[in-house]
Structure 1
Amino acid sequence: MLVADIERLVRCESPSADLAAVARSAAVVAGLGAERLGAEAEIIADKHVRWRFGARPRVLLLGHHDTVWPIGSLETHPVAVRDGVLTGPGCFDMKAGVAMIFHALAALDDLDGISVLITGDEELGSPSSRELIEDEARGCAAALVLEASGPGGALKTARKGVSRYDVLVRGRAAHAGLEPERGVNATIEAAHQVQAVAALGDAARGTTVTPTRLESGTTVNTVPAAGHFEVDVRVWDAAEQDRVDRAMTALQPHLPGAEVTVEGGPNRPPLSRAVSKDLYERACRIAERLGLTPPGELAVGGASDGNFTAGVGTPTLDGLGAVGGGAHADDEHVIVAELPRRTQLLTALISELRAGT
């Protein structure tokens, strides 16, 4: 039944930016959860799905149902199970994890003290769900994130924090052949700024500051009057995130007459191992008691909504979802044989945390 439920979720395509598709997917998530949990969901803003059991939840189960796959991906990447491997767009990241939440909870006799939140905009950076996630996590003893596991089923005990910026450069247009000296070249200014931004990285501290998409100018014979480039920042600790943010917002123009404006800032705080250590060790003890191989652990550069729960001080364990691989790629897949074992571990972990033992 678990595999069938994953297939049901995957067959409802849900690219994050397609609001109608995400609304349809939220309805499918809510319906499936109601069937497995015996309780109706609250659908928030047509995209986020929540269940609360009891007045004071102790455990938050967190996931998302949106994906990076556009409508029509099922035609080229159909849902299938072959040789013990389930495939389909979004199966690993992370619709399998959503179905696992429902099956883990269905195995419990009492759901009091549990909150479930399945959001619909995680792949966009959670612009409309961040506050919801943080509010739901505050006061909980633990947040368990059903994002896909690392290689070999490893849990994710640390994640880098993320900042995003858009550096806007303004110059002055002029004819590139007749009088280029009258212009202020936004492309050249952007080149100076790209170099300054890239120099903010610190390999020794694991800080990456990466200029990415760049646009400048209008025609080949015009000195560019405007341009911009985007910047992706990844850091292991809050102090580095603050350092880079101060440097980014202090950027100054290099060329006389140019203007530089910086938009954006920190998007997700780091998830440090200190926040996940006790939960990870508990999960390993439970696995041994159940006769399962204790999961490994992994620190990753990618972020998740677990960064938000950790950021408000809630102990957080991430990567509890499916074992497989190929997130966002043509070979996205889930190893079917691992699903019952991972769900069994999740059930036992929720039970202990809910009971406060």
Structure 2
Amino acid sequence: MDYVRALPDLVDDIEELVTCESPSADLAAVAASADVVARVGEKRLGVAPERIVVDGVSHLRWKFGEGPTKVLLLCHHDTVWPFGTLLTHPFSVQDGVLRGPGCFDMKAGLAMSVHAVAGLADRAGVTLLVTGDEEVGSPSSRALIEAEAAGCVAALVMEASADGGALKTERKGVSMYRVRVHGLAAHAGLEPERGVNATVELAHQVLAVTGLADPELGTTVTPTVMAAGTTGNTVPAVGEFAVDVRARFAHEQVRVDAAMHALRPVLAGARLEVLGRPNRPPMTAESSDGLFERASAVAVRIGQPPLGRVAVGGGSDGNFTAGIGVPTLDGLGAVGGGAHADHEHVVVAELPARTALLAELVADLLRS
């Protein structure tokens, strides 16, 4: 298939996807987005997807052929952008740069997947799975992803590329926590000594949590959003903060998880709750090595520049497929930048070559 000639259709499809806003937490918006994805996919693939709704979240699956799946293409159609973002960040294509909420992460990659599969001479053995809650940790889709990936030759994750188009061959595991403090309210001017100050306890716990990081092993433990108290003249009775943990190694996730749940209050009368656990296992380089070499050989064969590779801290659904032992290659989506940021963008000129690489890699894997 000539993906250069098909570029206007691909850009049109990206526009249709981007202009249907789909913030993860808005189930109605995600359902409407699933309708759009289904329409775009059916137009290019000639067949409607199966719609799978889990806990109110809309996922889509195209499965080709009667036999088992060999190659799983893994996408998501939800975004981090709140409804109404199009008013301030409208879809546009100017000077070869495509912009719009979710274009880079990852609606361009989703459209590329559809076009790549449409260009295959034989689709048997391919499954295209499009989930609706990746940006919030895939709570309703994890089991579906793992079930679809089991037994596959490869899981190809259509998340956006790293800088310069590099593929993502290693991802840290992700754990998320909330540390909640229960203290005792009192008047801050009349009798503060009668209270148990949740803000002070939070300060102790933030320092304790920060100390769990291990920079030498690449383990980060980062307190993020924090809130406490009700009024400026009241000893805070309740407070909490969120903690983001990233780890290259599974044993580090286990260590930090045990330490988080072993936290104890410092102030007399304070009580702690620690909520959360590991969410995504690490995606190790070993899970991607073979597929990266194969993709590199395909790139050379079709006359493309050598591929780069990089390890990243962000998680994706590729962590799940790698975690169950399925060879996984990530970052095969669009070239651009600014994921989750105001300058999110896609380089239009890179779309045809990137889509051709995906199609050739899938065909190569199906022949194995």
TM-score, L = length of structure 1: 0.97
Q: Which residue of 2 aligns with 1:184?
A: 196
**The one of 208, 216, 220 aligned to 1:204:** 216
**The one of 108, 129, 134 aligned to 1:96:** 108
Q: Which residue of 1 aligns with 2:37?
A: 29
1:24 and 1:335 mapped to 2: Cα distance?
27
**The one of 114, 118, 133 aligned to 2:126:** 114
**Paired amino acid for 2:245:** V
Q: Which residue of 1 aligns with 2:15?
A: 7
1:213 and 1:28 mapped to 2: Cα distance?
34
Q: Which residue of 2 aligns with 1:325?
A: 337
**Structure 1 counterpart SS, 2:306:** coil
Q: Which residue of 2 aligns with 1:345?
A: 357
Could you tell which deviates more after superposition, 291-300 or 43-52? 43-52
1:212 and 1:75 mapped to 2: Cα distance?
28
Q: Pick closer, same or farther for the CA change 1:49–1:254 going to 2, 3 Å.
A: same
Count matched residues. Answer: 356
**Structure 1 counterpart SS, 2:339:** coil
**The one of 263, 273, 279 aligned to 1:261:** 273
1:350 and 1:178 mapped to 2: Cα distance?
71
1:78 and 1:118 mapped to 2: Cα distance?
24
Could you tell which deviates more after superposition, 141-150 or 213-222? 213-222
Q: Which residue of 1 aligns with 2:171?
A: 159
**Structure 2 counterpart SS, 1:152:** helix
**The one of 24, 44, 48 aligned to 1:40:** 48
Q: Which residue of 2 aligns with 1:297?
A: 309
CA deviations on 1:252-288 (whole Å, 9 max, x unpaired) are 1111121111000101111111100100011001100
Whether 2:61 is the aligned partner of 1:53: answer no
1:152 and 1:86 mapped to 2: Cα distance?
16
Question: What pairs up with 1:216-231 in 2 under 5 angstroms?
Answer: 216-231=228-243
| Post-superposition offset of 1:297 | 0.4
**Structure 2 counterpart SS, 1:292:** coil
**Structure 2 counterpart SS, 1:102:** helix
1:86 and 1:171 mapped to 2: Cα distance?
50
| Post-superposition offset of 1:302 | 0.8
**Structure 2 counterpart SS, 1:228:** strand
Q: CA RMSD in A?
A: 1.1
| Post-superposition offset of 1:75 | 2.4
Structure 1 unaligned blocks of 5 or more? none
**Structure 1 counterpart SS, 2:278:** strand
**Structure 1 counterpart SS, 2:127:** strand
| Post-superposition offset of 1:170 | 1.1
> Contact 1:283 / 1:294 at 8 angstroms: preserved in 2?
no
| Post-superposition offset of 1:50 | 0.6
**Structure 2 counterpart SS, 1:327:** coil
**The one of 155, 158, 180 aligned to 1:143:** 155
Q: Which residue of 1 aligns with 2:4?
A: none
Could you tell which deviates more after superposition, 194-203 or 65-74? 65-74
Structure 2 unaligned blocks of 5 or more? 1-8
**Structure 1 counterpart SS, 2:295:** helix
2:111 and 2:205 mapped to 1: Cα distance?
46
**Paired amino acid for 1:259:** R
**Paired amino acid for 2:333:** G
**Structure 1 counterpart SS, 2:213:** coil
| Post-superposition offset of 1:66 | 1.0
**Paired amino acid for 2:37:** V
Whether 2:316 is the aligned partner of 1:308: answer no
1:69 and 1:189 mapped to 2: Cα distance?
33
> Contact 1:152 / 1:323 at 8 angstroms: preserved in 2?
yes
Could you tell which deviates more after superposition, 272-281 or 83-92? 83-92
**Structure 1 counterpart SS, 2:231:** coil
TM-score, L = length of structure 2: 0.94
